[in-house]
Amino acid sequence: MAKTKDISLIGVPIDLGADRRGVDMGPSALRVAAIESRLASLGYTVHDEGDLVVRRPSGYGAFGPKLKFLEEIGAVCDELHRNVSSAMERGRFPLVLGGDHSLAFGSISGVLQHKRSVGVIWFDAHADLNTDETSPSGNIHGMSLALALGIGHPKLTAIGGVDKKIDPSKVVIVGARSIDPGERKLIRELGIKVFSMHDIDRLGMTRVMEETIDIVRDGTDGVHLSLDLDGLDPEEAPGVGTPVIGGMTYREGHLAMELLSEAGCVVSMDIVEVNPILDHRNKTALVAVELAASLLGERIL
């Protein structure tokens, strides 16, 4: 549960980090799924800050297909880091509504303006640890965790300050099942903890989350949760741009959020990769809202 009773909703309707269109409508889908009233029913004062403006160019720009839309994504993440920082300065919990996962390094940069050390939980089927040298696609949504670590193009890693980066020993990826060779190499080099779906199957979600919380909370001032809906199985969350079969169940997702709520360590959150074009009656956005509510204190009894 958040330590503050004020929440800032910050919409980021960006799909420039991914190949499939439609994820820019994610913030609207989450609002249609009644995220504001659901959180207000838990006793929070919710301030909807509206959506950032995302400029849509006609082509990739100077950096071409290896870093697609770098300038535009950089501008959005720079603005987002300032909005997240402003929300925290006002004592609010920043809840960022995406949009594709490229936005996350902007969110984290904003949190780091107020926290000396931040743990990060990356709920995702993917590691998002590529760079322009290792990425098979050139899509920046697959580079966002690397950028938050200070690894990548300097135009992006400079956002928020080159010194405002996360410590790889305080990062945990949960639910991974699709990792590229370059990402695998970086994970080993940096010692990043990854709980793959194999680990969740073998250990159970309770133990995975207990170990995750121990890692991200140790020596940090707070934890940022980046929740990519493709971490769930496509049966649970069909409306995502890069689905991978064999993901977390609905209840595993809720249990993870409930355990994080009990730990009381999460100070900010992203909800990303909700794509209503690929969804069924807004099912994925509804699940996302339910998970956010569990994180923020909603209980069965």
Dist CA 221 CA 210 (whole Å):
18
Could you tell me if residue 222 is inside a domain? yes
Active-site annotation holds for 198 = no
Q: Which tens digits make up the pLDDT trace of 8-45?
A: 999 999 999 999 999 999 999 999 999 999 999 999 99
pLDDT of residue 58: 82
Could you tell me if residue 1 is inside a domain? no
Catalytic residue (one of 273, 279, 290, 298): 273
Give the mean pLDDT of 151-167: 96
Q: Which tens digits make up the pLDDT trace of 95-128?
A: 999 999 999 999 999 999 999 999 999 999 999 9
Q: Which tens digits make up the pLDDT trace of 234-261?
A: 999 999 999 999 999 999 999 999 999 9
Q: To the nearest 10°, the Cα dihedral for 238, 241, 247, 251?
A: -50
pTM > 0.85: yes or no: yes
Give the mean pLDDT of 146-160: 97
Catalytic residue (one of 79, 228, 252, 270): 228
Active-site annotation holds for 254 = no
Could you tell me if residue 230 is inside a domain? yes
pLDDT of residue 2: 77
Give the mean pLDDT of 181-193: 98
Could you tell me if residue 88 is inside a domain? yes
pLDDT over threshold 90, residue 203: yes
pLDDT of residue 1: 66
Q: Which residues are annotated as a binding site for Mn(2+)?
A: 101, 124, 126, 128, 228, 230
Catalytic residue (one of 15, 100, 141, 236): 141
**Residue 173, both tokens:** 């990826």
Active-site annotation holds for 47 = no
Active-site annotation holds for 126 = yes
Could you tell me if residue 197 is inside a domain? yes
Separation in Å, CA 234 to CA 12, 78, 247, 248, 249: 23, 32, 7, 9, 9
- Do residues 103 and 72 lie in contact, with contact meaning Cβ atoms separated by under 8 Å? no
Residue among 260, 258, 268, 265 at smallest CA distance from 221:
265
**Residue 300 phi, psi dihedral angles, 5° rounding:** -65, -40
Catalytic residue (one of 101, 132, 252, 290): 101
Q: Which residues are annotated as a binding site?
A: 101, 124, 126, 128, 228, 230
Catalytic residue (one of 51, 183, 230, 298): 230
Dist CA 145 CA 192 (whole Å):
11
Q: Which tens digits make up the pLDDT trace of 59-85?
A: 888 888 999 999 999 999 999 999 999
Catalytic residue (one of 24, 79, 126, 252): 126
Could you tell me if residue 246 is inside a domain? yes
**Which domain does 259 fall in, by range?**
6-295
Could you tell me if residue 290 is inside a domain? yes
Active-site annotation holds for 124 = yes
Q: Which residues, other chains included, contact 102 with Cβ-Cβ below 8 Å and sequence gap of 6+?
A: 14, 16, 17, 18, 73, 77, 139, 140, 141, 143, 144
Which CATH number covers residue 207?
A: 3.40.800.10
Could you tell me if residue 82 is inside a domain? yes
| Total number of domains constituting the chain | 1
